[in-house]
Structure 1
Amino acid sequence: MWKVLPKFGLAKILVLLLCSIVTTGLIWATKGWTGVTTFFNEDGFSIISSLLIPVLICFVGITWLLGVYLWRWLWKIPVVGSLLNEKVCPDLNGTWIGKTISTYKDEHGNPYEKEVEMVIKATFFGFDIRLVSVDKYQRSTVMQSEILKDPRDGAFYLSYIFESVVDQPKETDDAKFDGAARLHVRFEGNDIKLVGRYWTNRGWQRNMQTAGTISLQKD
């Protein structure tokens, strides 16, 4: 989520937070603004030095809490949460249920369809995705992922690179393969859907095309 928000705006917020903590510490140490002159004429700098580590610890702790937990409270406020999802960054945390439709055809000429489950854990500092097929035939681990906002139309996109493992592959299948996907974060009323395409190197040595579409909705 860090990549979605304007960097300059985030920097200003963090600097404001740090200045607020420092100012509060100085006011407390000087017993109010009237004690500032006396404070520096006596042993003020040694007191500032002793306050430096606690201030930094508070700053890091508050920043971590805001980036990992507290931000989601804002996203859960009615109306405000909807605006933040659509204008700032969507909260994709949770379990997503959907299906994939592959361009690869079975022996009857029908495209392969598979029900899948995706679990997303997102903070301001990290983004983790796990994807498994409901029939447990294969499981995917996302190696790199990010959510981006397209400046051309303001739409959000979830992109990721994954590695899939098939524990007991069929004779015509691979035990391991890599792939990538790009999903559009689509707002439909109060619901959010993830819709897009994926492609893999599954079966490339057999001149097979393994790509398809994926659609997901929060459970």
Structure 2
Amino acid sequence: MWALLTRARQVQILVALTVLVILGLQGISEWWTGQALSLPKSVSTVTFIVGVVFSLVANWTWRTVWRWLPFLNKVFFPDLNGTWTGTLQTTWKDPTTGLTPGPIPSKVTIRQGLFDISIRQVTGESTSHSNRVIAEADPNADRYRLWYSYDNRPKAEFHHRSTQHEGVAWLEISLADAPDTLIGQYYTARRTNGDMTLSRANP
């Protein structure tokens, strides 16, 4: 989700954090030793601290901040962490019957951090793992979407009619209309596609 911010805004946040920490260290040093830290030493120390702490702590605590300030779900991007269950409807036809299967039960697990997102989808026949996920937010339209590419690995018993393949997909949520529902579509390298409808099972 960090990538949703412009590069300029990212730099502004990091610079602001660095300045705040420098001022804090200067104040602590003067209070504790009676002497202020030299500026070069302060900058080098703080740059390291901000980089490490921001990367670790922010990724662990952002969900707490989102719960305290729920408006961030709308103005930035919603917390989609957790398990989502539902169905997918494919256009693929079973070569043995020539028929398109009905809705397939599906479970999607989203692991969303401040800096990265992963998506795993499991059905009765296969498992998919995302390779790359891109978040897209349009607060004015109340549309928040995850685009991702994935690898699909069928269970061995289904290899005769379902081969390993790659694909791309998107999942979208509308906070005003259905805050616990994801809808989406997927497209495979086998020239098939389908629709997905999922409901939040647990956070």
Same fold (TM over 0.5): yes
The residue identity in structure 1 corresponding to 2:150 is: F
Alpha-carbon distance in structure 2 between the residues aligned to 1:165 and 1:190: 31
The residue identity in structure 2 corresponding to 1:98 is: G
Picking from 155, 158, 181, the partner of 2:143 is 155
Picking from 117, 120, 129, the partner of 1:127 is 117
Please say if residues 158 and 185 of structure 1, whose CA atoms lie closer than 8 Å, have aligned partners that are also in contact.
no
- Aligned-pair distance for 1:122? 1.3
* Pair 1:213–1:16, CA change in 2 (3 A): same
Aligned residue pairs: how many?
A: 198
* Pair 1:188–1:115, CA change in 2 (3 A): farther
Please say if residues 136 and 145 of structure 2, whose CA atoms lie closer than 8 Å, have aligned partners that are also in contact.
yes
Picking from 35, 47, 68, the partner of 2:59 is 68
Which structure would you say has the larger Rg? 1
Alpha-carbon distance in structure 2 between the residues aligned to 1:90 and 1:171: 37
- Aligned-pair distance for 1:60? 2.1
Task: Quote the sequence identity (%).
Answer: 24
Report what 2:161 is aligned to. 173
Report what 1:23 is aligned to. 23
- Aligned-pair distance for 1:128? 1.2
Alpha-carbon distance in structure 1 between the residues aligned to 2:42 and 2:49: 11
* Pair 1:53–1:5, CA change in 2 (3 A): closer
* Pair 1:190–1:162, CA change in 2 (3 A): closer
Please say if residues 168 and 175 of structure 1, whose CA atoms lie closer than 8 Å, have aligned partners that are also in contact.
no
- Aligned-pair distance for 1:55? 2.3
1:186 aligns with 2:168: no
Matches within 5 A, 1:7-22: 7-22=7-22
Please say if residues 90 and 100 of structure 2, whose CA atoms lie closer than 8 Å, have aligned partners that are also in contact.
no
Report what 1:210 is aligned to. 192
Please say if residues 74 and 139 of structure 2, whose CA atoms lie closer than 8 Å, have aligned partners that are also in contact.
no
Report what 1:205 is aligned to. none
* Pair 1:191–1:152, CA change in 2 (3 A): closer
Please say if residues 95 and 218 of structure 1, whose CA atoms lie closer than 8 Å, have aligned partners that are also in contact.
yes
Please say if residues 2 and 125 of structure 1, whose CA atoms lie closer than 8 Å, have aligned partners that are also in contact.
yes
Structure-2-length-normalised TM-score? 0.83
What SS does structure 1 have at the residue aligned with 2:141?
coil
Structure 1: which 5+ residue stretches go unaligned? 203-208
Picking from 84, 88, 101, the partner of 1:100 is 88
- Aligned-pair distance for 1:140? 0.8
Structure-1-length-normalised TM-score? 0.77
Please say if residues 141 and 163 of structure 1, whose CA atoms lie closer than 8 Å, have aligned partners that are also in contact.
yes
